[in-house]
Amino acid sequence: MNNIESVKCLIIGSGPAGYTAAIYAARASMKPVLYKGMQPGGQLTTTNEVENFPGYPDGITGPEMMLQLEAQAKRFDTDVRDGFIDKVDFSTLPHKVWTEDGTEIHADTVIISTGASAKYLGIESEQYYLKNGGGVSACAVCDGFFYRGQDVVIVGAGDSACEEAGYLANICNSVTMLVRRDEFRASKIMRNRVLNNPKIKVLFNTEIDDVFGDGNVVTGVRVVNNKTNDKEEISCTGVFIAIGHKPNTDIFKDYLELDETGYIKNIPGTAKTSVEGVFVGGDAADHVYRQAITAAGTGCMAALDAERYLAAKEG
């Protein structure tokens, strides 16, 4: 029995959901311990400017906002730790989790805020402009505004890609949508909205071969028709990748009810999962809204539900 620690509230993940849960749990004297996880700060750390989070009239960068949320959580004595949880056992109470260095933690309540990761094409030039420059994004609602009046390309053919193409068409000069097969995956209504929008041009059987630019910002993409092998260049300043997200829920799959794509199922209207004492906030349970503000909101719900659960148990 070495290295076992007992906590009232363990929070896994450090995006807006995790830190908001921490602020609420700490203020309710639950002494939360928060593990930052593999990507401290979550998806927002890959976003430059956040202009749609209420309370920041001049905008704020994603990394800066996450530092502020961390500072706010620490102000109320959240124990914020580097490291990640790589194994759980939710079959008995208290719940057991293990950190990557082998520490075993017994938790009365667990709040999961591990988020989701956007999928990318994985080509080198895409990753270069995603990480070093400007012009590649996986979130039209977050970043579309920066491309207003400009020409953009969007990759994907699901409901998200269609929705985001419509969003971009309202802001941008032109939207070229690249669909890798000769048909959409999206529902008929979403597909028709795209096809009937004069500002969106759809290229079927078309994939990105290269993203190019001046080293700082994107100036275009080279695409290839996968039927004819014909290549062409399209001038654009923004490349939106909308090929789906993967929720970071693999370690929970043996214990919690997940939907067919791996998102944690919460009891509607609550942050409760299928297991007593385990709660979820943020994108790990949300494939629809996926915004920092909605993650913060459901992180708050998770802490309040955890607090009420403990209060009911303690009588």
Cite the active site residues: 139, 142-143
Whether residue 235 contacts residue 135, with contact meaning beta carbons closer than 8 Å, is answered with no
Q: Tell me: does residue 243 bind ligand NDP (CB under 6 A).
A: yes
Smallest distance from the beta carbon of 190 to ligand NDP, in angstroms? 7
CA angle in degrees (0–180, nearest 5) for 223-224-228: 155
286 touches ligand NDP (CB under 6 A):
no
Binding mask 106-125 for ligand NDP (x = CB under 6 A): ---------------x----
For residues 85 and 99, give the distance between their C-alpha atoms in angstroms, rounded to a whole number: 4
Q: Say how many residues touch ligand NDP, by CB under 6 A.
A: 16
Distance (Å, whole) CA 190 – CA 238: 22
Distance of CA 30 to the CA centre of its chain: 26
**Of residues 160-189, which lie at the interface with ligand NDP (CB under 6 A)?**
160-161, 163, 180-181, 185
Contact pick of 244, 270, 274, 294 for ligand NDP (by CB under 6 A): 244
**Is residue 130 part of the contact set for ligand NDP (CB under 6 A)?**
no
Token pair 């079927």: residue? 204
d(CA 49, CA 41): 14
What binding mask, one character per residue, do residues 57-76 give for ligand NDP by CB under 6 A, x or -? Answer: --------------------
Q: Cβ contacts of residue 9 below 8 Å, gap of 6+?
A: 25, 30, 31, 32, 33, 107, 108, 109, 110, 111, 303, 306, 310
Token pair recorded at residue 148: 């207003």
**Counting contacts by CB under 6 A, is residue 231 touching ligand NDP?**
no
What is the 3 state secondary structure string of 106-170?
EEEEEEECCCEEECCCCCHHHHHHHHCCECEECCHHHHHHHHCCCEEEEECCCHHHHHHHHHHHH
Q: Is the dihedral of CA 186, 190, 195, 201 positive or negative?
A: negative
- Beta carbon nearer to ligand NDP, 260 or 314: 260
Name the minimum Å distance from CB 65 to ligand NDP: 24
Residue span binding ligand NDP (CB under 6 A) among the ranges 67-75, 126-134, 155-163, 247-255: 155-163
The residue from 10, 116, 157, 285 that contacts ligand NDP (CB under 6 A) is 157
Minimum CB distance to ligand NDP, residue 118 (Å): 9
The verdict on 156 binding ligand NDP (CB under 6 A) reads yes
Which residues make up the interface to ligand NDP (CB under 6 A)? 121, 155-161, 163, 180-181, 185, 207, 243-244, 287
